[in-house]
């Protein structure tokens, strides 16, 4: 496989990839796994290991079997938990002798909020009837997140009970975390920024470390935020060996007034986010409208996680920036991605500084090895270290950033790069 040769050539020793749930259980049934799907991933894993590359496997990166959505509503139903746990157990049994690092869910905030709140990601549910025929943005994101947490806990407990001692692996979850800095030093802005962090990351990690959602969420969401049973708390507590942090960018925060209309995840926070302070932008802009280059935010993210969760081991599971897919640009221009090199230099320096100040960072994965399909943005953005020629048989070309990583990694082989 060309991707394996490419990976070896730039001196990486670890790759993160995602297992597609529908490949293992195409119709959502948990009665019998798809042998062809298991064989596919066995070939992939064996190919990686044969070239000295260790696999980091993500069990869920937003590809739910359609039958589970159609039959009971996917993540907004508690029925999803047993299906996910059964799927995870099959993967542990089939691949765990070689896969030593498992990530249960990738960015549960995104598929909860954007799948069941804004409707911009699958399954496209929200309260806006001009966008969706069904959905409730005030309740469904919280239900989806609640069941995602229980699914993670169930899978982690099965792994620890039946597989971990023999397979000697670790299990965690990857959460996206945009750093939020107070707009000013006022107590109100500081409280707003902290509340936004809790609605982002505390939403998923507080139940695992403290047994419940953050108090700020209980206050602002009220009865729409589900409750955990005593048994669920027991299953959740301590159910990760590490946390994966997907971080790209940062914002400033200041308080916003309560919503006058129906509540949703964003209105519940009563926060206004901005990228400008005193006439200056928070950082240079990448291609995507949401992605500003703010290297100091990475250090603050890692320090915040370290302080709040008692020096929890951290793996930076995604970090990177994109360019526009410009049809008018020559290949030579597209490969000369010096802005991306500067991005990685600055963000890696922030990772290093955070480790010097006590963060237990075990690894770092760049997003991404290859230009790829960026969800609702399609192929309009390019995050890769390698340029993929979509008009010429998907031929791949090393960008300047790939050459930079090759030299950066040459002295010693670090845990540094991801692909999906």
Report, as residue numbers or ranges, the catalytic residues.
Answer: 107, 318
Joined together, the tokens standing for residue 237 give 């507590």
Q: Is 42 left (phi over 0), alpha (psi -120 to 50) or beta?
A: alpha
Q: CA angle, corner 303, sides to 297 and 307, nearest 5?
A: 145
Print the SS3 string covering the chain: CHHHHHHHHCCCCEEEEECCHHHHCCCCCCCCCCHHHHHHHHHHHHHHHHCCCEEEEEEECCCCCHHHHHHHCHHHCCHHHHHHHHHHHHHHHHHCCCCCEEEEEECHHHHHHHHHCCCCCCCCCCCCCCCCCCCCCCCHHHHHHHHHHHHHHHHHHHHHHHCHHHHCCEEEEEEECCEEEECCCCHHHHHHHHHHHHHHHHHHHHHHHHCCCCHHHHHHHHHHCCCCCHHHHHHHCCCCCEEEEECCCEEEEEECCCCCCCCCHHHHHCEEEECEECCEECCEECCCCCCEECHHHHHHHHHHHHHHCCCCCEEEEECCCCEECCCCCCHHHHHCCHHHHHHHHHHHHHHHHHHHCCCCEEEECECCCECCCCHHHCCCEECCCEEEECCCCCEEEECHHHHHHHHHHCCCCCCCECCC
């Amino acid at each position: 496989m060309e991707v394996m040769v490419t990976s070896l050539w730039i001196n990486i020793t670890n790759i993160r990839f995602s297992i597609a749930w529908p490949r293992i259980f195409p119709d959502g049934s948990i009665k019998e796994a798809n042998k062809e799907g298991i064989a596919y991933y066995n070939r992939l894993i064996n190919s990686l290991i044969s070239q000295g590359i260790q696999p980091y496997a993500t069990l869920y990166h937003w590809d739910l079997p359609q039958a589970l959505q159609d039959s009971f509503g996917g993540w907004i139903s508690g029925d999803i938990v047993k299906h996910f746990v059964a799927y995870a157990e099959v993967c542990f049994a089939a691949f765990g002798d070689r896969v030593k690092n498992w990530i249960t869910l990738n960015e549960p905030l995104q598929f909860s909020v954007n799948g069941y709140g804004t409707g911009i990601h699958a399954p496209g549910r929200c309260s806006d009837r001009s966008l969706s025929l069904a959905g409730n943005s005030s309740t469904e994101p919280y239900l989806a997140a609640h069941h995602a947490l229980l699914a993670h806990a169930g899978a982690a407990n099965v792994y620890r009970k039946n597989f971990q001692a023999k397979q000697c692996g670790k299990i965690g979850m990857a959460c996206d975390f945009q750093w939020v800095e107070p707009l000013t030093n006022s107590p109100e802005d500081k409280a707003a920024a902290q509340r936004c962090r809790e609605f982002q990351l505390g939403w998923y990690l507080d139940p695992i470390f403290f047994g419940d959602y953050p108090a700020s969420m209980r206050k602002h969401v009220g009865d729409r935020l589900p409750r955990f049973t005593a048994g669920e708390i027991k299953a959740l507590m301590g159910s990760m060996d590490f946390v994966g942090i997907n971080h790209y960018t940062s914002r400033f925060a200041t308080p916003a007034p309560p919503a006058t209309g129906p509540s949703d995840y964003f209105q519940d926070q009563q926060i206004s986010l901005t990228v400008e302070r005193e006439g200056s932008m928070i950082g240079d802009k990448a291609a995507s409208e949401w992605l500003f280059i703010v290297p100091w935010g990475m250090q603050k993210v890692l320090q915040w996680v370290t302080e709040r969760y008692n020096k929890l081991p951290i793996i930076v599971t995604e970090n990177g920036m994109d360019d526009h897919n410009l049809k008018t640009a020559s290949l030579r221009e597209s490969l000369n991605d010096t802005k991306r090199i500067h991005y990685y230099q600055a963000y890696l320096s922030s990772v290093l500084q955070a480790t010097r100040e006590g963060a237990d960072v075990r690894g770092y994965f760049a997003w991404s090895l290859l230009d790829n399909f960026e969800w609702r943005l399609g192929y309009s953005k390019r995050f890769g270290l390698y340029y993929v020629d979509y008009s010429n048989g998907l031929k791949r070309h090393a960008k300047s950033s790939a050459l930079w990583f090759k030299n950066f990694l040459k002295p010693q082989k670090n845990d540094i790069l991801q692909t999906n």
